[in-house]
Amino acid sequence: MWVFSAVSVAASTILAFDFGLKRIGVAVGNTILKQAQPLTIITAATNDDKFSAIALLVSEWKPDIAVIGLPLHPDGAEHEMTQRCRRFANQLHGRFGLATVLVDERYSSAVLKQERGKTIDDEAAAIILQQYFDDHDPT
């Protein structure tokens, strides 16, 4: 006689952000599949417009966590964009009540070869999210 028990595993949705002053790349994934997918690039001119676009994404995807790429110098030292990204993460937490995780993005851009005239911010966000999944895989 076989007895099966149903195990409920809750999937957490995660949005990842490659923050930039002109563009913000966004990717999505969940903790079950652990596969990051590029989602969109936010190109709004003002901070209010950027956060309005993010609000729509948060409403649609209902993420449990926001992962933000943290730019650092190759030696690990912080610079101006590091602080801007920390502020952006704090704003995501404050505005949307999202738990935020900062992921070192020093080598993520090396994975992508930038083509002239092509924006890759959403792909960069996917690499950042995949790095988060890989770093948090218990196996």
User: Considering its fold, how many domains does the chain have in total?
Assistant: 1
Q: What confidence tier does 117 reach under pLDDT thresholds 50, 70, 90?
A: low
pLDDT of residue 112 exceeding 80, the answer is no
Q: In CATH, what number is assigned to the domain containing residue 72?
A: 3.30.420.140
| Domain span at 87 | 19-135
8 lies in a domain?
no
Q: Strand 99-104 and strand 65-70: pairing?
A: parallel
1 lies in a domain?
no
4 lies in a domain?
no
Say what the pTM is. Answer: 0.87
| pLDDT tens string 4-28 | 444 445 679 999 999 999 999 999 9
Residue (of 18, 30, 38, 12) closest to 89 by Cα position: 18
111 lies in a domain?
yes
23 lies in a domain?
yes
Q: Could you give the 3-state DSSP secondary structure of residue 56?
A: helix
Residues belonging to the chain: 139
66 lies in a domain?
yes
6 lies in a domain?
no
11 lies in a domain?
no
Can you give the pLDDT at residue 86?
97
Q: How far apart are CA 40 and CA 71, in angstroms?
A: 20
| pLDDT tens string 77-103 | 999 999 999 999 999 999 999 999 999
